[in-house]
Structure 1
Amino acid sequence: MTQAVASAPLIVICVLDYATSVEILDGVADLTGKTVANLSSLAPDEVTAFAEVIARRGGEFVDGSIICYPQSIGTDEGSVLYSGAPEAWARHEATLMAVGASSAYVSEMVTASCVLNLGLVGAFFTTALSAFVECATFVLKQGVDPELLAGLTPLTVDFLGRTAVDAVAEIAEGHFETREATIDTYLTGMEPALLCLEAGGIQPRVVAGALENLRQASAAGLGSLGFAAQAKVVGA
Structure 2
Amino acid sequence: MSSSRTPSSPAEEHAVTVVGLGPMGRALAGAFLAAGVRTTVWNRTPGRDRELVAAGAVSAASAEEAVAASPLTVVCLVNYDAGDAVLRQEAVTRALKGRTVVNLSADTPERARDTGAWADEHGIGYLDGAIMTPTPAIGTPDGVFLYSGPGALYREHRPVLDALAGTHTHLGEEVSRAAGYDIALLDIFWTSMAGYAHALAVARAEGITPTELAPFAQGIAAILPPLFQEWAEDVESGGYSGEASPLTSAVSTMTHIVHASEAHGIDAGVMRAVEGLSRRTVALGHGAEGFSRVVEVLGRR
Shorter-chain TM-score range: 0.7 to 0.9
After superposition, the C-alpha distances for 1:6-56 in whole angstroms (9 at most, x for unaligned) are 442211112233243234333233756422100112221111111111112
Q: Is the contact between residue 64 and residue 95 of structure 2 (CA under 8 Å) also seen in structure 1?
A: no
Q: Which one of 150, 153, 160 corresponds to residue 217 of structure 2?
A: 153
Contact 1:9–1:34 (Cα < 8 Å) also in 2: yes
The whole-number CA distance in structure 2 between the counterparts of 1:133 and 1:148 is 14
CA–CA separation in structure 1 for the residues paired with 2:196 and 2:82: 36
CA separation of 1:195/1:3 partners in 2, compared to 1, >3 Å: closer, same or farther? closer
1:228 alignment partner, SS class = helix
Residue 178 of structure 1 is matched in structure 2 by 242
Q: Deviations over 1:145-195 (max 9, x none)?
A: 544422122221121222122222222332213321111110122212321
1:85-135 deviation digits (Å, cap 9, x = unpaired):
2111112223224335144333332111111111211x2211111111111
Match of residue 257, structure 2, among 182, 185, 193: 193
Three-state SS of the structure 1 residue aligned to 2:239 is coil
Cα separation, 2, equivalents of 1:80 and 1:9? 20
SS at match of 1:107: coil
Q: Which moved more, 1:83-92 or 1:161-170?
A: 161-170
Query: Which of 154, 160, 165 lines up with 1:95 in the alignment?
Result: 160
- The Cα of 1:3 is off from its aligned counterpart by 4.7
The superposition leaves residues 196-218 of structure 1 with CA deviations (integer Å, 9 ceiling, x where unpaired) of 22223322222222111111111
Among 112, 117, 121, the alignment partner of 2:177 is 112
1:8 equivalent to 2:70? Answer yes
Q: Secondary structure at the match of 1:98?
A: helix
After superposition, residues 1-236 of structure 1 pair within 5 angstroms as 1-25=63-87, 26-27=90-91, 28-29=93-94, 31=96, 33-99=98-164, 101-121=166-186, 123-144=187-208, 146-236=210-300
Query: 2:200–2:210: 8 Å Cα contact kept in structure 1?
Result: no
Q: Secondary structure at the match of 2:74?
A: strand
Counterpart amino acid of residue 221 in structure 1: G
Please give the root-mean-square deviation of Cα atoms over the aligned residues, in Å.
Answer: 2.2
Indicate conservation of the 8 Å contact 1:127/1:206, yes or no. Answer: no
Structure with higher Rg: it is 2
Q: Aligned partners of 1:105, 1:158: CA distance in 2, in Å? A: 28
CA distance in 2, matches of 1:200, 1:100: 47
Q: Tell me the residue number matched to 2:3.
A: none
Letter in 1 for 2:102: A
Q: 1:213 to 1:46 in 2, by over 3 A?
A: same
C-alpha distance 56-141 of structure 1, shift in aligned 2 (>3 A): same
CA distance in 1, matches of 2:190, 2:165: 22
What amino acid is aligned across from residue 161 of structure 1 in structure 2?
P
CA 1:214 to 1:100, structure 2 compared with 1: closer, same or farther past 3 Å?
A: farther
Kept in 2, the 8 Å contact 1:182–1:226? The answer is yes
How many residues are treated as equivalent by the alignment? Answer: 235
Counterpart amino acid of residue 184 in structure 1: T
The separation in 2 between residues aligned to 1:172 and 1:29, in whole angstroms, is 45
Q: TM-score scaled by structure 1?
A: 0.88
